[in-house]
Amino acid sequence: MLSEKTIAIIKSTVPVLEVHGTAITKRFYQLLFTSHPELMNVFNHANQRQGKQQTALANAVYAAAKYIDKLETILPAVKQIAHKHRSLGITAEQYPIVGQNLLQAIKEVLGDAATDEILNAWAEAYGVIASVFISVETEMYKEAEEQHGGWAGYREFRVERKVRESSVITSFYLVPQDGGAIASFEPGQYVSVKLDIPGETNTHIRQYSLSDAPGKPYYRISVKREDALPGKPAGVVSVYLHEQVKEGDVLLLSAPAGHFTLDLKDARPVVLISGGVGLTPMVSMLNTLADTKSDRQVTFIHAAQSGDFHALKQQVEEKVNQTSGATAHWCYAQPTAQDTGVFHKEGYIDLPWLQEIIPSKDAAFYFCGPTPFMAHINRLLLQWGVPAADIHYEFFGPAGSLDEESEKAAVTN
């Protein structure tokens, strides 16, 4: 346990971290990759370039400092990060490396303000926080390996089928190369795909939501091709999967992980809302409810640019038709002439439409999509009076924030 003095010192740094947190984490990653370049094989390079990873870490450090005397408050966030660490293969031996470089970054960014007393307090606090992560992740590694069909590290899976779902999304049906059983998973979870891409210096690891129900002889991931945009390069991994990976090829997968899961014990109605490729965990949830013949009322809502970009539409409609009390609703921002009669709303999701198609706000709400989209949906649900405890969402990539800044982006983009 931390001493009262250490806790007081850590909490005194909260205002400083609020201002300089991102500068500290930016410098941290520079130091980390310089001293341990092998870790470039673990981290998502695109998130590094876009600053998402630095911001996520800054938020985590800030929360740890703010609640250093009540670490149980941040346990849900710890578990979320621990799932990602387990899927990436982060080891206990890497935590001291992280701690050393984080303290060095604090010292460099804060300069004389980072007194020996502050640095010693942070070293002590980091040790406690790291031990919490290591303990949680150790259990996760054990569970992933010892469950039926489970495994440690990465396992070879063969691409049994490759199916084009829309103009930008393709599904990959993956079966174990060794012919053995595969671990079950909770609807909403993801797997890590590890790739050595010709011409790339480092290994690339990406997480993709499983887009079908558990209990199948395969895992399915549905990947959006991330093409280049002004100021944003094309997605190295997604383009490689779309263009180069073919049926019969072998990919390396981690065992399923993730905290964003459908609560199957909740008997209340469920509302699944998605934007773009964010429908992948939602489809897994829908398929699970359909396959288990759940009598829960299900409202499935999906937003896409147009029918050309709408993946898995026919499959969702089939599952909805097989499920008593289930409905599906499509919102197209820019429908084409070919979309006439196949969508339900033009433009963007708004509260009056949600209130029209959702029978009751007394339900469990799950949503996923681009951050501005999720900020918009979150604001609508809170405006409607949906309790925060009934609102569940998933970020693709480092955890972000559904704050007013994200909402502004939703309005201006």
Residue 328, SS3 per DSSP: strand
Per the annotation, binding residues are 85, 190, 206-209, 276-281, 395-398
In the chain, what are the domains?
Answer: 4-146 (1.10.490.10), 155-253 (2.40.30.10), 270-412 (3.40.50.80)
Tokens encoding 181: 């059983």
The per-residue pLDDT string of the chain (413 residues; one tens digit each, 9 = 90 and over) reads: 789 999 999 999 999 999 999 999 999 999 999 999 999 999 887 777 777 788 888 888 989 999 999 988 888 889 999 999 999 999 999 999 999 999 999 999 999 999 999 999 999 999 999 999 999 999 999 999 999 999 999 999 999 999 999 999 999 999 999 999 999 999 999 999 999 999 999 999 999 999 999 999 999 999 999 998 888 889 999 999 999 999 999 999 999 999 999 999 999 999 999 999 999 999 999 999 999 999 999 999 999 999 999 999 999 999 999 898 899 999 999 999 999 999 999 999 999 999 999 999 999 999 999 999 999 999 999 999 999 999 999 988 666 668 643 444 333 33
pTM to 2 decimal places: 0.93
Distances (CA, A) of 6 to 19, 99, 118, 398: 21, 17, 8, 29
Eight-class DSSP state of 65? H
Q: What is the pLDDT of residue 404?
A: 45
Q: What is the pLDDT of residue 44?
A: 81
Q: What is the pLDDT of residue 136?
A: 95
Phi, psi of 103 (to 5 degrees): -65, -40
Match 């014990």 to its residue by tokens: 265
Q: What is the pLDDT of residue 208?
A: 97
Per the annotation, binding residues for FAD are 190, 206-209, 395-398
Pairing state between β 190-195 and 204-209: antiparallel
Q: What is the pLDDT of residue 400?
A: 65
Integer Cα distance of 304 and 276 in angstroms: 5
Whether 200 and 271 have beta carbons less than 8 Å apart is answered as no
Integer Cα distance of 348 and 300 in angstroms: 16
Whether 313 and 345 have beta carbons less than 8 Å apart is answered as no
Closest CA to 189 of 225, 224, 144, 138: 144
The catalytically annotated residue of 95, 219, 366, 393 is 95
β-strand partners of 346: 332
User: Does 348 participate in catalysis according to the annotation?
Assistant: no
Phi, psi of 143 (to 5 degrees): -65, -40
Integer Cα distance of 358 and 300 in angstroms: 9
Pairing state between β 155-164 and 250-253: antiparallel
The catalytically annotated residue of 126, 137, 141, 173 is 137
Query: Which is it for the CA torsion 344, 349, 352, 355, positive or negative?
Result: positive
User: Does 393 participate in catalysis according to the annotation?
Assistant: no
Match 């490759």 to its residue by tokens: 162
Eight-class DSSP state of 198? T
Per the annotation, binding residues for NADP(+) are 276-281
